[in-house]
Amino acid sequence: MIQAFASPHNRRISWTLLGLSVLMIVVAYAIGSAGRSEGNLIFFAAVGVFLLAFAHPWRRVREYKPLFYASGLGFVVFVLLHNFMDLGAGAGILHALLRGISIGSFVLAVFGCPPVMLFSIGGIVVMFVWTRLARA
């Protein structure tokens, strides 16, 4: 992440991509993501552009691997957290808090982790091919 803001050139690219990501989120919200595949696809793309804002200086496969592992582990953790918080959200005093954690973890599991996983797989493949072509 530090590399993305280290030089003026990288900083300009990062801020442009962050602005594009925010614009895409606004468009996805305007279209509506509940049951609309167009809004969901734009939101997934916005997450990918957000990641690209920080990962565009990465040039090695090993920089994308931790992102892949974290997204897989995060998916499992957020699904389990959603299920446990949903079970615990009874009629108690903590109902609103547990329900909020349940909904937040569901959104992260569905809209956060899969695009991150696809982005990291894409980065691994592109950098693998790039390094193989550079050697030839």
**Matching residue, tokens 């609309």:** 36
Give SS3 for 57: coil
Range of the domain at 15: 1-57
- Which residue type, as a one-letter code, is found at position 27? V
Residues 63 and 2 reside in one and the same domain: no
* Residue 132 structure tokens: 């193989």
- Name the domain count of the chain: 2
pLDDT tens track of the chain, all 136 residues? Answer: 577 788 888 899 999 999 999 999 999 888 876 667 888 888 889 999 999 999 998 889 999 999 999 999 999 999 999 998 888 777 677 888 888 888 999 989 988 899 999 999 999 999 999 988 888 7
Amino acid at site 42: I
Residues 47 and 68 in one domain: no
Tell me how far apart the alpha carbons of residues 125 and 55 are, in angstroms, rounded to a whole number: 14
69 and 44 within one domain: no
11 and 47, same domain (yes or no): yes
C-alpha–C-alpha distance, residues 135 and 53, integer Å:
27
Digit-coded pLDDT (tens) for 100-114: 888 999 989 988 899
Helices 37-55 and 8-31, axial angle in degrees (round to 10) = 170
68 with 51, same domain: the answer is: no
If asked whether residues 80 and 127 sit together in one domain, one would say yes
